[in-house]
Amino acid sequence: MERNRELESYKHSIVGVIDKIAGNIEAIAKAARPVADAIARDELVHVIGPGGHSNMAVEEVFWRAGGFAAINAILDPGTNLIHGGARSMVIERTPGYAKSVLNAYRVGLKPGELLIIVNAYGVNSMSIDLALEARKRRMTTIAITSRSFADSLSKDHPARHPTGKNLYQEVDYFLDNYLPYGDAVVEIEGTDRKMGPTSTFCNVFTINLLMIEAAKALIAKGVEPPIFVSGNMPGGDEACRALIERYIPRVKHLM
């Protein structure tokens, strides 16, 4: 069988990124402590992806087999691609929008609440405003984003926050997702445009490792992690019922 050059290239790139993220496990374990602390206090873990495809990382850890029931997924329609791709980009570049989103989800009502911000690029207005607003509210913040991309992008690029700030520099805990510059990595003969995006792999692998480490930290505290099992498994609905009843009054999208 003829070797598929594009397949091998894509696989090599994805595995390479995953290896880099896994090599950062000490930082991930450190960031997992406030996640575990919040759950141990019976608080919610707020997660937002301020950008079209960044929402996928939020959906990955919400209402998920093997995921925490204590996740408050902030899935604002403004950046959700179902309402328009171009519209999503306009919204994520709109200064000041983030504050209203947090208010709509009743996030940051008390100091010390935890906000996880997942955005592969980490430069747009919504990403930066989330970090800055969370700081005003004395929240704890974790960012999953790319330092190399943010450092490489010119300060006057239209995608940037007016201040030119980078998300990774404005949070309490920064987890590098090692996004390759430009996102897409596979060269196709006959076009100069690359395919094979990587950002979702980068974000999802990182946030799942964060949740796994948080579960380990909870167990070390003697706290049973509130983990969903698949409803498609025998007894799955019954196993999850108590968790649903516990969190449904507080988690908007569990309703």
Q: Is residue 151 within 8 Å of 161, Cβ to Cβ?
A: no
pLDDT value, residue 1: 60
Architecture label for domain 5-250: 3-Layer(aba) Sandwich (3.40)
3-class DSSP assignment, residue 73: strand
How far is residue 17's CA from residue 24's CA, in Å, rounded to a whole number?
11
Q: pTM of the predicted model, to two decimals?
A: 0.96
- Burial classification of residue 31, based on how many CB atoms lie within 10 Å of its CB (0-12 exposed, 13-18 middle, 19 or more buried): buried
Residue 147 corresponds to which tokens in the numbers above?
């330092």
pLDDT along the chain (255 residues), means of 10: 88 97 98 98 97 96 97 96 96 96 93 97 97 98 96 92 96 97 95 97 98 98 97 94 96 91
pLDDT value, residue 2: 74
pLDDT value, residue 255: 81
DSSP single-letter state for residue 186? B
Q: Cα 204–45–146 angle (5° rounding)?
A: 40
Backbone phi, psi, residue 27, to 5°: -65, -35
DSSP characters over 78-129: TT-GGG-HHHHHHHHT-TTHHHHHHHHTTTTSSTT-EEEEE-SS--SHHHHH
The half-sphere exposure of 125 on its side-chain side, counting CA atoms within 13 A, is 18
